[in-house]
Amino acid sequence: MRSIFVGVCIAVAAIAVFWVESSPAAATTPAAAIDKGARWLASVQGADGGWGQDSGLSNGNDVANTAVAALALLRAGKQYDSNVERALAFLLKRVEASPADGLAITNVQERRFR
């Protein structure tokens, strides 16, 4: 019984290795993966220039998500300069509207857990 179990485990491992090596995802280069991610980020940028946790579907865009997405697009190449400029305008607008008498970057005072 033990030898059957070991044999099945070896067969499953061999099939898994073959499947992973033959999948298109294994052939993806880092540059192609970066480009795919950057194109997706650019496609879900909100109308206000920001990003949020809802892929730009509502007004839930915030400073933190926008800053990280803008940095990624900035590093992805010049073709995303217009997206980065819109993101910077979003960030500046939010920061300039923040309370002057505190440490908060924005006037949003909520926490989101998903």
Q: What's the CA gap between 97 and 114, in Å, rounded?
A: 26
| Contact predicate 37/68, CB 8 Å | no
The reported pLDDT for the residue numbered 18 is 57
Q: pLDDT for 47-106, tens place per residue?
A: 999 998 875 555 678 888 999 999 999 999 999 999 999 999 999 998 888 777 776 766
β-bridge partners, 62: 51
The stretches of 1-114 forming alpha helices (DSSP H) are 2-22, 30-43, 63-76, 81-96
Question: How high is the pLDDT of residue 67?
Answer: 93
